[in-house]
Structure 1
Amino acid sequence: MITLIAAAAENNALGKDNQLVWHLPNDFKRFKQITSGHYIIMGRKTFESFPKPLPNRTHIIITRQKSYKVEGCYVVNSIEKAIEISPKGAEVFIIGGAEIYNQSIDFADKIELTRVHASFDADAYFPEINLNEWKLIFEEHHTKDEKHNFDFTFQTFVKK
């Protein structure tokens, strides 16, 4: 099963200058809980936005740079190749960035989305979720508090 996992604003903003434009600790906790122990697929820029590889996950990095290598990570040149080397029958997570989400949404079976209830100026956007193709099966709203500057909703979509 291929799952896209992302946090996106109401205008589908993902981030700017290779950084998130909000800080939501509970979203980070959910991301860690859902993806731990699994393969995660990402673009090179997304990988380079982390201080180090994320623990307890197998990283597949997509890049056009032929000589790009990262110890302990798989490096491939396409979303198709990333999916091909992922374990069959296991849930595999695509974690971004925008270009990788756009290339993979047609391959995906599920979307785990944190919808941030605000709009942001961004340079990276999540693809539009076509509700003719996707069904919302779970929704959990969280209001802003001392640790979260914005209301947000965890949503799970499955392909119809």
Structure 2
Amino acid sequence: MLTFIWAQDKDGYIGKDNTMPWRLPADLQHFKKETSGHTIVMGRKTYESIGKALPNRESIVLTRDPDYSLTDAKVVHSKAEILEIAQDKDVFITGGAEIYQLFLEDADALIVTHVEATCGGDTRFPTMDWSKWQLTKRENGTRDAKNDLDFWYGWYEKMGNNRG
């Protein structure tokens, strides 16, 4: 199963200068809770913005660079390799925008943190047809001293998806 997980502001921005354009520690904890124990896939730029593989997850970095290698993550060079892995286990696509675009038609589920603010940025989530997706669960985030924006989590499933 292939699940996308990301956060976006009201205008669809997901990044600015290779980082997130907001500070929401609760969203980072949510990401950790959802992806721990699973396989995560990210592009080279996303990996380099984090600086290391994330603990308690199998990290896979997808890159076009045939000479790119890492000691703490598996490096692959094709979409087909990721789709093969996703046949046997839950795989989370974690960004960036080029990686989301590459797998847009293959996603089975989405987990989206909706930041209820206009934060701006230089990278947007790819344009997608939301009519193909059904919101199956919604959970409000808590605005507090550490999380100073309103936000909510949405779990979506692709309509007509027969996963058995």
Q: What TM-score comes out, normalization by structure 2 length?
A: 0.91
The answer to whether residue 29 in structure 2 is matched with residue 29 in structure 1 is yes
Deviation at 1:143, TM superposition (A): 4.5
Query: CA 1:116 to 1:30, structure 2 compared with 1: closer, same or farther past 3 Å?
Result: same
Deviation at 1:157, TM superposition (A): 0.6
Identity within the alignment, %: 41
Deviation at 1:102, TM superposition (A): 1.1
Q: What TM-score comes out, normalization by structure 1 length?
A: 0.93
Query: CA 1:150 to 1:64, structure 2 compared with 1: closer, same or farther past 3 Å?
Result: same
Match of residue 57 from structure 2: 57
Query: Is 1:36–1:57's contact at 8 Å kept on the other side of the alignment?
Result: yes
- Which whole-Å CA distance do the structure 1 matches of 2:90 and 2:9 have between them? 25
Aligned-partner residue type, residue 140 of structure 1: E
- Which whole-Å CA distance do the structure 2 matches of 1:87 and 1:111 have between them? 15
Match of residue 121 from structure 2: 122
Query: Is 2:137–2:156's contact at 8 Å kept on the other side of the alignment?
Result: yes
Deviation at 1:25, TM superposition (A): 1.1
- Which whole-Å CA distance do the structure 1 matches of 2:41 and 2:126 have between them? 17
Aligned-partner residue type, residue 29 of structure 2: K
Deviation at 1:64, TM superposition (A): 1.1
- Which whole-Å CA distance do the structure 2 matches of 1:129 and 1:113 have between them? 13
Query: Is 2:18–2:46's contact at 8 Å kept on the other side of the alignment?
Result: yes
Q: Stretches of 4+ moved more than 3 A in 1?
A: none
- Which whole-Å CA distance do the structure 1 matches of 2:23 and 2:12 have between them? 16
- Which whole-Å CA distance do the structure 1 matches of 2:156 and 2:4 have between them? 10
SS of the equivalent of 1:31 reads: helix
Query: Is 1:79–1:100's contact at 8 Å kept on the other side of the alignment?
Result: no
- Which whole-Å CA distance do the structure 2 matches of 1:61 and 1:21 have between them? 23
Match of residue 110 from structure 1: 109
Aligned-partner residue type, residue 102 of structure 1: Q
Query: Is 1:25–1:147's contact at 8 Å kept on the other side of the alignment?
Result: yes
Give the paired residue count. Answer: 159
Aligned-partner residue type, residue 148 of structure 1: N
Q: Which runs of 5+ in 2 are unaligned?
A: 160-164
- Which whole-Å CA distance do the structure 1 matches of 2:57 and 2:142 have between them? 30
SS of the equivalent of 2:34 reads: helix
Deviation at 1:129, TM superposition (A): 4.2
Match of residue 41 from structure 2: 41
